[in-house]
Amino acid sequence: MGEWLDIGWVDEIPVRGSRTVQVAGGDDIAVFRTGEGKVFALADRCPHKGGRLSQGIVHGGAVACPLHNWRIALDTGEALGEDKGCTPVIPVKVSGGRVLICRTSTIKAAA
C-alpha cells in the first residue's frame, strides 16, 4: 500500500469548491481548490458544531462552515478571527494533474 492515495484529476474539484473522499468508519475528507488553483485537504467537519466543510464556500485561503459561518484556514485547519478550534489537515499534493492525499494521515484523521 503506497503512502499516497490517488483521488482523481485536479479539474474534477470545482474552483472555489470541494469534493469529498469517503473514509470507512470515520470522518470523510474534504479536498478543496482555491481560485488560484491551490489544493488543500481537511477532515470534513468544523471544529465548532461538526458542520460539513465540504458544503461551505471557499474564500481565498479559507472555507466558511455552512452551519455558523466559521472561517477555517485551508492550510492549517485553524479557525480564524475570534473563533477557536482546529480540524485535522491532510497532506495533499498534485502530480501530473492528479490529486494525491496522504494515506496515513487520512486514516489518523478519520479515527
CATH code of the domain covering residue 62: 2.102.10.10
Please give the residue range of the domain that contains residue 19: 13-90
pTM of the model: 0.88
User: Which residues, including other chains, have CB under 8 Å from residue 59's CB and lie 6 or more apart?
Assistant: 16, 71
For the segment 42-98, what is each residue's pLDDT rounded down to a tens digit? 999 998 888 999 999 999 999 999 988 899 999 999 999 888 999 999 999 999 999
Q: Is residue 7 part of a domain?
A: no
Burial of 35 (0-12, 13-18, 19+ CB in 10 A): exposed
Q: Is residue 78 part of a domain?
A: yes
Q: Is residue 39 part of a domain?
A: yes
Number of domains in the chain: 1
Q: Is residue 42 part of a domain?
A: yes
Query: Mean pLDDT across the stretch 89-108?
Result: 86
